[in-house]
Amino acid sequence: MINIPKGFKLAAANADFRGKKLARRDLCLALSDVPAVAAGVFTTNLFRAAPVLVSQKNLNGKNPVYGVLINSGQANACTGEQGMQNCLDSLAMVADALRSAGRDIAPDSLLPASTGVIGAHMNMKKWENAIPELTASIGKIDLEGFVRSMMTTDAFPKMAGTELELAGGRVRLAGVAKGAGMICPNMATMLALVMCDADVDQDAWRGMFRRAADETFNRVSVDGDTSTNDSLYGLANGASGVTVKKDEEPLLENALSEVLGQLAYMLVKDGEGATKVMHINVTGAKTDADAEKVARTVGHSQLVKTAMFGRDPNWGRIVAAAGRSGADFNPMDLVVTLCGVELFRKGRPTDQDFDALLEEPLSHTDLPLDISMGSGPGRAHLLASDLSHGYVTLNSDYRS
């Protein structure tokens, strides 16, 4: 069981944002009892959704951050000035309800996040009707109930947590995420939140958050699409009473990376229609940038993805992807190894019965793919899903 860090309470309600009368909550709130140090990492898409723009502003504002408000079913992206106003109005509604319940929290002390169909306007009447249920549930929702309220096409709830012993005592981290499709670095159609009860310096927290995101969420790929709504939040409220000392910050960063890494893996494993997770490790490149070009080109390749779905050790597709990646390397230096079986070396396939050797390993979920580009210091890693019939089925009728 993953423990909710001290000083955080969760809430959820069914606002029926999808309009299908689903017996599932689609609105949730993570609230800290005390002001929290907050960090955020967001989509690089130029069409940033209204909640992304509002969250970025609130993170840089003067008011302290107390919580994250998430809705699923409506992305509130590409909705113009009305979408921005609707986002602000939703925060004001929740703040008013919290004030009535004895919690004096300003609207810009909340960070909004939305997921769902792009272009649809928020149904503000549904917000108004759902907020009493939301505020009445504060502290009554567990971690799984919270994350299920974020889900859209996800097949399972994604949660991870850890505890860390520091000089001043124990601190907890708990993370949740949603996402299965429109997932590609940088970030993904994903919303994610990490709660931590340590007392940590704001600049240090934001720095470790950016670095941890780069090594985890920014190294995954399902379908090569980057969403308008990607948002990763981190709240650290100090409720444990444990202050993170300067020399302990790397320990907290490692714990944070562990939590984000588990969530990132779950995103790829739950890729829409996915049956495989490729663990692509590229080494020996002249630079990290060259290694990353190869990792991403191979991981995004539809031909490589479909080969992995079909359990086909088609080394030619991997080599071709590496060759068109734009990376600078000598083709004669390239070595490709799939599930421990060396497929390609010195410009040609190795003399092995790939189909027989890999029949059983390729039936597994996790497929290690190692690519050596030479003897340079550059390296990169990427998690990528396969591409199945299920992906087309799910995405061909997403709005219906």
Identify the pLDDT of residue 182: 42
Identify the pLDDT of residue 167: 97
pTM confidence score: 0.86
Domain membership flag for residue 346:
yes
Which tokens belong to 113?
Answer: 């996040």
Q: Which domain holds residue 68?
A: 8-269
323 and 193 share one domain = no
Range 10-36 average pLDDT = 89
- Only one residue has tokens 């999808």, namely 18
Identify the pLDDT of residue 155: 80
Is the predicted pLDDT of residue 390 greater than 90, yes or no? no
Identify the pLDDT of residue 396: 52
Per mean pLDDT, which range of 129-133, 162-166, 230-234 is the poorest? 230-234
Domain membership flag for residue 2:
no
Our count of domains for the chain comes to 2
42 and 94 share one domain = yes
240 and 287 share one domain = no
Is the predicted pLDDT of residue 271 greater than 70, yes or no? no
Range 122-139 average pLDDT = 96
Query: Buried b / exposed e across 346-383, counting CB within 10 Å, b at 16+?
Result: eeebeeeebeebbeebbeeeebebbbbbbebebbbebb
Highest mean pLDDT among 40-44, 181-185, 219-223, 248-252 belongs to 248-252
Residue 167: Cβ-neighbour burial (10 angstroms; 0-12, 13-18, 19+): exposed
239 and 367 share one domain = no
Domain membership flag for residue 142:
yes
231 and 325 share one domain = no
What is the C-alpha separation between 69 and 92, in angstroms, rounded? 11
Of 252, 269, 286, the residue at which a domain comes to its end is 269
- C-beta neighbour count of 391 within 10 angstroms: 21
27 and 91 share one domain = yes
239 and 303 share one domain = no
Of 250, 269, 288, the residue at which a domain comes to its end is 269
For residue range 346-366, list pLDDT tens digits in order: 999 999 999 999 999 999 999
Is the predicted pLDDT of residue 399 greater than 50, yes or no? no
221 and 301 share one domain = no
Domain membership flag for residue 182:
yes
Q: Can you state the angle between helices 302-309 and 288-300, rounded to 10 degrees?
A: 60
Query: Which residue in 189, 216, 226, 283 is the catalytic one?
Result: 189
Paired strand residues for 193: 176, 233
What is the C-alpha separation between 126 and 27, in angstroms, rounded? 11
289 and 326 share one domain = yes
Is the predicted pLDDT of residue 177 greater than 80, yes or no? yes
Name every residue whose Cβ is closer than 8 Å to that of residue 106 and which is 6 or more positions away in sequence: 63, 95
Closest CA to 141 of 16, 25, 18: 25
CATH number (domain holding residue 17): 3.60.70.12
309 and 386 share one domain = yes
Domain membership flag for residue 3:
no
Domain membership flag for residue 249:
yes
User: pLDDT confidence of 220, banded at 50, 70, 90?
Assistant: confident
Domain membership flag for residue 119:
yes
Paired strand residues for 372: 283, 335
Identify the pLDDT of residue 120: 86
What is the C-alpha separation between 256 and 177, in angstroms, rounded? 14
Of 245, 269, 293, the residue at which a domain comes to its end is 269
Is the predicted pLDDT of residue 398 greater than 70, yes or no? no
User: Is 189 annotated as catalytic?
Assistant: yes
Give me the chain's average pLDDT, please. 91
Is the predicted pLDDT of residue 311 greater than 70, yes or no? yes
65 and 194 share one domain = yes
What is the C-alpha separation between 7 and 109, in angstroms, rounded? 16
